[in-house]
A and B are shown apart, each in its own frame.
Chain A
């Protein structure tokens, strides 16, 4: 690697225009994600506080959860984190074609997860668990619904990146934009691991 190339890479990974060396955009995303921790913290606490507050004959977690199905959709979402990593590394190398492939793959995996959630919600609803049925229903749909909305926004951002790339507006110099959206995507995945563990796997 020549000196110029090395300097170029250094310039891409570190922002010398700021006091911390982290670009404003990336710092803002980290701060936003810090704030999001408290948002999901509040929703998860609400769920844990409320899930047992149902009558003995009420429809509850044990009546509706399909652990194998949700495990598969969780696996799909986790795989999307892997493809997101490939998307970030490919654009950092300047490989725009692969970057597009991985962006599309990440969005597709995310969409599969959301589709699974829609299916799950429909199935639960037909089994008699609505948003207004009881405290478990309200808390469950609020928590997983907020998460699903976050995944959906992530998919929209990934698709926007994809369209930008097709139009020739996503070059190597904008690698950090992909990285920042990647941060959001990984965060949403990590939150799902917590939700999946607490909501589905903990003994009810």
Chain B
């Protein structure tokens, strides 16, 4: 391709600003386009919002701990549970999954970076802009005066100005729109990365299960986000410019919002859980020392969930009066979607069956996901039975169910992922003793918090009601749940302490090298130094098998026993290749996101501010387009510079034959 490059382009760079340089200091983070740094920033931001959302949850539990609670008023309570839900779904679980997707997808398919590094940076900053806008609603114009207060699914017509006159719902509509842009851009980018940037030999069915699950997640985002985009636009038009979409007085049917929201909202549920499924599918084989059981079934069940996830949305609406035929159809489809999910659970169990189990912290979290998610899945199937669901709708039984799948499934999986890939990202392991202790504290606290909610729900306690009377019989289990919530908080604090203490200990010990593959794992991400060098791999890897890295490490001797074929130090890259061309940092992603943030506040408060935001946004788009290419020969691509890498062939040659048994050492 470079042969036909016009010399005119090469010698006449567009644009006036030079690109930022340097890889040290705060600027290198603000302007970075490196997928690994962006992944780390996603993770850090998600942890910050996790603490925010957690504190909100503690206030809910304080209010409900005793009958006739008076810790926060009824109005504030509406705001607290709404912002808690919105924060945890859109600002915690989704970006935490994005952290792993950003960090790991390019590594797992053997690429240098994502398909569009600058767009990747934009996704992060745009997400952060949405998060800042949503979170600021808690204190702009007074403490909890302008916070969204319609529940995370924000049903019409309660979301109209008539019933919610504060600016809270405006923050909801605009803030989620902004995080939606971030998710959409990120989805396009990551799908292009997985489909297009795979290294030689990495066919689709040699990709790790995590890569598959994240790919399916991105497709779900790609098609689900535009639906909520429409719903949020309609809501915004209604609130800001007096249109009639949800105006019942003008003949509108508020079910329109429910349908649009849940056509997005149910795929969203799988967007939350599939990344955790992928993480568990990486952790369990590693610590069972077995390949994943039924790889093709694992992938196919993920794809099946991806398709069927679109046909179950109305099970959120069984009591909306949509008619017996719809209820029956969605009831059946909902029971049916439990099948591929069950396939996954059984495959994880079969992977562990007769494996050489090592109960490290990540493994504990993974097993926690399998067991807790199964409870949540089973209570989910009970909702598919429409008559029973009619009884349970809007009770604490529902709250119990979705916390078992989102906390017990998604969040535990993501925390397991933190422990598992921490050495890859930072070069040292988190402390195992603290990790295991914090796991058990979290797990026990979790079950004490959400287990009793099943009982409360079946007793008839409604969600979203700020208090209850002493004679209703809810007091005991509510107290238990509130104590459990604080136990979870202790578990999270122990995790944060672990991060601090492990980092300090590692620094004081002179930053010892943890090695490329501390867990004896299977994916390509372990085949390079820890922390991952900026250029990922010293040379392009040619993949011949699923679990390529494992098969380079281990082979079988004549009797069929698994034996060490080569030491990791010979197979893994050491990160010493400094001749790899990488994309330069860029100012524009963060500037563009700042423009979007201004537009967001402008829509809520003052259209002149929005006009200024649009000006900044348009300027940033042109600055982005006209930014000089960092290297005329690269023309935006940096994926394969195999020609520049003389060192490549040596490494390939060493690792080429996985069965060098003279060097082998038995693992048994």
Contacts and interface: CB of A to CB of B under 8 A. Distances in A.
A49 B195 contact: no
Contact of B115 (A28, A38, A173): A28
A138 B244 CA distance: 6
Nearest to B256: A49
Interface in A155-186: 160, 168-169, 171-173
Interface residues of B, number: 50
Contacts of A36: 226
A168 B8 CA distance: 8
A166 B189 CA distance: 31
A46 B1 contact: no
Interface string A88-122: 00000000000000000000000000000000000
Contacts of B139: none
B14 A28 contact: no
A31 interface: yes
B49 interface: no
B162 interface: no
Interface stretch (A14-22, A70-78, A194-202): A14-22
A42 B4 contact: no
Contact of A18 (B196, B230, B234): B196
Chain A interface size band reads 35 or more
Interface string A34-73: 1111110111001001100111000000000000000000
A131 B116 contact: no
A82 interface: no
Given A18-B197, A24-B192, A31 B245 contact: no
A142 B195 contact: no
Contacts, number: 132
Contacts of B115: 24, 27-28
B584 interface: no
23 contacts: A18-B639, A19-B198, A19-B202, A20-B196, A24-B116, A24-B637, A27-B115, A27-B191, A28-B116, A28-B189, A31-B192, A42-B229, A43-B230, A46-B230, A46-B245, A49-B253, A49-B256, A53-B251, A53-B252, A142-B234, A169-B12, A171-B6, A171-B8
Given A18-B196, A38-B224, A138-B243, 20 more contacts: A11-B1, A11-B4, A17-B640, A18-B639, A24-B115, A27-B115, A28-B192, A31-B187, A34-B223, A35-B184, A39-B229, A42-B260, A49-B253, A49-B256, A53-B253, A55-B251, A134-B251, A135-B247, A135-B250, A135-B251
Interface of B: 1, 4-6, 8-9, 12, 14, 115-116, 184, 187-189, 191-192, 195-198, 202, 222-227, 229-231, 233-234, 237, 241-245, 247, 250-253, 256, 260, 263, 625, 637, 639-640
Interface of A: 8, 11-12, 15-20, 22-24, 27-28, 31-32, 34-39, 41-43, 46, 49-50, 53-55, 131-132, 134-135, 137-139, 142, 160, 168-169, 171-173
